[in-house]
Structure formats: structure tokens, C-alpha cells
């Protein structure tokens, strides 16, 4: 295979990229914020069944309250995205990530001591703010400190750690009571804060602020003293000088700005419209409703493992297969599995379960049933949905966003993308349970099925291939309209 380097990379063939260990440490420390985000996102999946079984009348939830408990996190995340939009460019990428630890810690503390529904909502909202802040800052930080040759792989790290976070929650949900699950949520945040204290800010951000000396030191630390960091700083500086520092409205009207911004916003909207958030948030209740023969919490943990494997597959393919090929594969796999879920949940057996399981709109355990092979359809379909999503539409939308947004608009635009993404997630997660109770599970799945087709068309028409290109070359593509040559 071809070694993926941009033309300006002054490395001998076969030579390792210097300073890797430190670069990986920096990426690892930053993406702990995503681990926490993945964990917080699916917290209701394990917590809802446990809270209902506790029998505490103060905390018992009907459909309406389940919808709020599941979805208010996304509202918090939208707010966090807005906050990060300003923090990213004001205090820097690294500092924004560190500041996300505050709402996260407080939020989990409130959940641990919760005695009423409003405390649960508050805790979820605060952990949502933290998720939105880290989701807007971490991909930008990671893409700016990465070497072009490994940016695809490292760029999928935020997604991988988010998946590890959800898997950790599903796994811990098998053994820990829900309040202890909230205590465990504090751990990654504390580790992240400690590690980030010792790491440099993004060299691009420092140069943008006119701190050339610090930027050079930061890049030297990340690449290693033996690397050609001086010429790399030169290239980054040229790219920064070639563009308006903060884009005004006039600049935003130019294709160089509005094209990548619109592509990013639509990608984030379509990513959420695949229904991935409500499916992950309500995974255990969905398995209960579809009467899967295994225990719902075991199914959820199983799906978590599949999701982790698929994101790791995607990370290894990101710089080999290219972004678009993975987006096509991802869209197709999701389409097929959403279609099979639609057909399965439209059968009489699944329709009956909706009414029996929701007599008063509450969450009820499914009756013990004999092992029925047909009930593995929703389990396998859910695995394929999540496998497909995690191969392409999950990680690549984040990576592409951090690659194609022009520097002058990157902080604001990535914040805006996160807001669009989370408001869409909020509406879907909030409406999901109400629609299921009113019409049955097949209705949301049918909608998601159609969205997958739209995603495939969108990929074909609008998304550029960025594999193996430096950020400067990608910017040049939007400036000149000439296609990015593929490697």
C-alpha cells in the first residue's frame, strides 16, 4: 500500500513519525472527556430499569418522565456546544476541555444524592453540558496536534473512547446499582484533569494568538526534538496568514467558508437523524419491548462490545479505505438493519408487546419467555445498526468536521454543528418513547430507514475525500474548487 504522507512531509520512506509516544499521550488525555461523554449519554439505559425496580415513589417514572430523563441530556449538550463555541477561541482548546470537567463532576454528584425527579433531571442536564463542551473542543484539539499521516486514525479516537464509555456503562450496569454508576462516572474526569495539566496547547491555536515561541515549543514536544518541527511550524504559519483570522459575515458568503460549514452542519443533522441517540439511550427498554429472549441488560452489554469492535475497525480503515467508502458502507448497513427492524416490529407479535408492556405508560419487565430464535432479529439488527454507524457516520462526521472547517470559522462553526446535532438528538430522544407508545416501534425505525438512503445520496453529492491530505490542502480545495487529488 501507499504510505500516506502529504507532499511536504520531509520523512524518509519507512521512517516512523517522531515524537509519537507524546502525541498519543496528549490525544489519550484529551479523549478521556469523550469516554465520559459516551458513559453519560447512555446512563438511562441501565438506570431507568433499576430506578423503576427500586420502588421509590419519589423517583418512579411514567413515559413522559422517561422521555425527559433520556432527552434532557441532549439539551444540556446543545448548551455546552454553545459555551465551547466561545471558549474554544477565547481560552484555547485544551482549557475548554478542562473546563468541561466542572459540570460533569457536579452533575454526577447531584445524581448520586438524588431524592426527586428534578435532581435526576438536573444531574442529566449538567452532564449534558459537559458532553457538549468536550464534543466541540476535543476533535478540534486532536486534529490540530496530529501529524497528517495519522490524523485519520487519531481523529477517530474521540469516537472510540465515547464507545468505550458506553460499553463501560453497559458492563458496570450489570453489577452496580444506579447511584454507584454515577459515582463511577466521576473517575475519567478526574484522570483527564490531572493529565491535561502537563500537556501543551494546540500549536495552531498558539500561532493564531501570535505566540510563535510557545507554538514551536508545543510542536517540538509533540513531534520530538529530532523531528522537522521547524518547517511544520512554517507551513502552519503560512496557512494561518493566508486567511482571515475570524471570519466576518462578508467572508462567510464566500464558497471557501460557507461550503465546508454547510456540509458539516448537514452531516451532523443527518448523523443524528439516523436515530442513533434514542436507540442507544433506550437500548434496554427497546430489547424488553421486542421480547428478545436474553436479558435486556446482557443484550445491551453485547451491543456495546460490537460497537467497540466496529469503531476500531473503522479507525484502522480510515486512512486506508478513505472517508467516503466508509460512509457508503455505513449508510448501507444501517439501511438494511433499520429495514429489518421496521419489518420485525410491524409484525403482530411485536405490536402486542407495546400494549402489554405499557399498560400505564410505565416501564415494565417482560415476562419470562422460552428461547425463541425469531427474537434474535432485533438483537442482531441492533448490532448491525450500531456496527454500521460506528464504521462511518459516527466517527467520520466528527473527523471531517475538524478537517474541512476553515481555521477562521472553526471554533464558531464546530460549536454550531454540535448545537444542531444535539438539538436534533433532543427532539428525537424526547419524541421517541411517545411515538412508540402511541404507534408502535416500527414508526421511528421506518423514518430512520429513509434517512439512511438520504445519507448515502448526500455522501455521493457533497462530501469531499480528505484521506492523506494536509489541512492546508483541504482548505485549498474549498478555496479553488479543484478536487483534492486522492492518493
Domains in the chain: how many in total?
A: 1
Residue 378's pLDDT is 87
pLDDT in tens, 294-336: 777 788 788 878 878 877 777 777 767 778 888 999 999 999 9
Residue 247's pLDDT is 60
- Which range of residues forms the domain containing residue 162? 25-199+243-480
Band (pLDDT 50/70/90 cuts) for residue 483 is low
Question: What is the rounded average pLDDT of the residues 110-118?
Answer: 91
The CATH number of residue 284's host domain is 1.20.1250.20
Question: What is the rounded average pLDDT of the residues 124-128?
Answer: 95
Distance CA 24, CA 123 (A): 32
Residue 358's pLDDT is 39
Whether 84 is in a domain gets the answer yes
pLDDT value at 172 more than 80: yes
DSSP secondary structure string for all residues of 378-447 = HHHHHHHHHHHHHHTTTHHHHHHHHHHS-HHHHHHHHHHHHHHHHHHHHHHHHHHHHHHHHH-THHHHHH
SS3 337: helix
CA neighbours closer than 13 Å in the CB half-sphere of residue 79: 14
Residue 10's pLDDT is 39
Whether 16 is in a domain gets the answer no
Residue 431's pLDDT is 93
Joined grid coordinates for residue 182: 454515577
Report the alpha-carbon angle 422-426-427, nearest 5.
120
pLDDT value at 143 more than 90: no
What does pLDDT average to over the chain? 81
Distance CA 214, CA 206 (A): 7
Band (pLDDT 50/70/90 cuts) for residue 246 is low
Bigger pLDDT: 416 vs 277:
277
* Placement of cell 484502522 in the chain: 316
- Percent share of the chain, pLDDT over 70: 87
Whether 81 is in a domain gets the answer yes
Taking the CB of residue 70, how many other CB atoms lie within 10 A of it?
Answer: 29
pLDDT in tens, 50-61: 888 887 888 888
DSSP secondary structure string for all residues of 262-319 = HHHHHHHHHHHHTTHHHHHHTHHHHHHHTT-SS-HHHHHHHHHHHHHHHHHHHHHHHT
Whether 219 is in a domain gets the answer no
SS3 228: coil
Distance CA 202, CA 174 (A): 39
372: left (phi over 0), alpha (psi -120 to 50) or beta: beta
Whether 90 is in a domain gets the answer yes
Whether 136 is in a domain gets the answer yes
pLDDT value at 469 more than 60: yes
Amino acid at each position: 500500500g501507499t504510505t500516506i504522507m502529504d507532499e511536504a512531509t520531509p520523512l524518509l520512506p519507512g521512517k516512523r513519525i517522531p515524537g509519537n509516544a507524546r502525541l498519543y499521550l496528549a490525544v489519550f488525555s484529551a479523549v478521556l472527556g469523550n469516554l465520559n461523554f459516551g458513559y453519560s449519554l447512555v446512563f438511562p439505559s441501565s438506570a431507568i430499569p433499576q430506578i423503576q425496580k427500586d420502588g421509590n415513589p419519589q423517583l418512579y417514572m411514567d413515559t413522559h418522565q422517561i422521555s425527559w430523563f433520556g432527552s434532557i441530556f441532549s439539551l444540556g449538550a446543545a448548551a455546552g456546544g454553545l459555551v465551547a463555541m466561545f471558549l474554544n477561541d477565547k481560552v484555547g482548546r485544551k482549557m475548554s476541555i478542562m473546563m468541561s470537567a466542572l459540570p460533569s463532576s457536579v452533575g454526577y454528584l447531584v445524581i448520586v444524592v438524588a431524592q426527586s425527579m428534578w435532581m435526576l433531571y438536573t444531574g442529566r442536564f449538567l452532564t449534558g453540558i459537559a458532553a457538549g463542551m468536550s464534543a466541540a473542543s476535543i476533535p478540534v484539539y486532536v486534529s490540530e496536534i496530529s501529524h497528517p499521516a495519522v490524523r485519520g486514525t487519531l481523529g477517530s479516537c474521540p469516537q472510540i473512547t465515547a464507545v468505550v464509555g458506553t460499553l463501560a456503562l453497559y458492563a458496570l450496569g450489570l453489577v452496580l446499582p444506579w447511584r454507584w454508576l454515577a459515582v463511577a462516572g466521576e473517575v475519567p474526569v478526574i484522570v483527564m484533569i490531572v493529565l491535561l495539566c502537563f500537556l501543551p496547547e494546540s500549536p495552531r491555536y498558539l500561532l493564531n494568538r501570535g505566540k510563535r515561541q510557545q507554538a514551536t515549543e508545543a510542536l517540538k514536544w509533540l513531534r520530538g526534538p529530532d523531528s522537522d518541527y521547524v518547517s511544520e511550524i512554517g507551513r502552519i504559519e503560512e496557512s494561518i496568514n493566508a486567511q482571515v483570522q475570524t471570519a466576518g459575515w462578508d467572508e462567510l458568503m464566500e464558497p471557501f467558508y460557507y461550503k465546508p460549514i454547510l456540509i458539516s452542519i448537514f452531516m451532523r443533522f443527518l448523523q443524528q437523524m439516523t436515530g442513533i441517540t434514542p436507540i442507544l439511550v433506550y437500548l434496554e427498554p427497546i430489547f424488553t419491548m421486542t421480547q428478545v429472549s436474553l436479558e435486556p441488560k446482557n443484550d445491551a452489554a453485547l451491543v456495546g462490545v460490537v460497537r467497540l469492535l466496529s469503531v476500531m475497525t473503522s479507525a484502522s480503515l480510515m486512512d486506508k479505505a478513505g472517508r467516503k467508502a466508509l460512509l457508503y458502507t455505513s449508510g448501507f448497513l444501517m439501511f438494511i438493519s433499520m429495514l429489518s427492524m421496521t419489518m420485525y416490529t410491524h409484525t403482530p407479535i411485536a405490536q402486542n408487546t407495546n400494549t402489554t408492556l405499557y399498560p400505564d405508560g410505565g416501564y415494565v419487565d417482560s415476562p419470562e419467555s422460552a428461547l425463541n430464535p425469531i427474537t434474535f432479529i432485533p438483537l442482531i439488527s441492533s448490532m448491525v445498526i450500531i456496527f454500521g454507524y460506528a464504521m462511518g457516520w459516527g466517527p467520520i462526521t466528527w473527523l471531517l468536521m475538524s478537517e474541512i472547517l476553515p481555521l477562521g470559522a472553526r471554533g464558531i462553526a464546530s460549536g454550531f454543528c454540535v448545537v444542531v446535532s444535539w438539538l436534533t438528538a433532543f427532539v428525537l430522544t424526547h419524541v421517541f418513547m411517545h411515538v412508540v407508545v402511541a404507534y408502535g416501534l416500527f414508526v421511528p425505525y421506518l423514518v430512520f430507514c429513509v434517512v439512511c438512503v438520504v445519507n448515502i445520496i448526500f455522501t455521493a453529492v457533497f462530501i469531499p475525500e480528505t484521506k492523506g491530505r494536509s489541512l492546508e490542502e483541504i482548505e485549498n480545495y474549498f478555496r479553488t474548487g479543484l478536487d483534492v487529488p486522492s492518493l
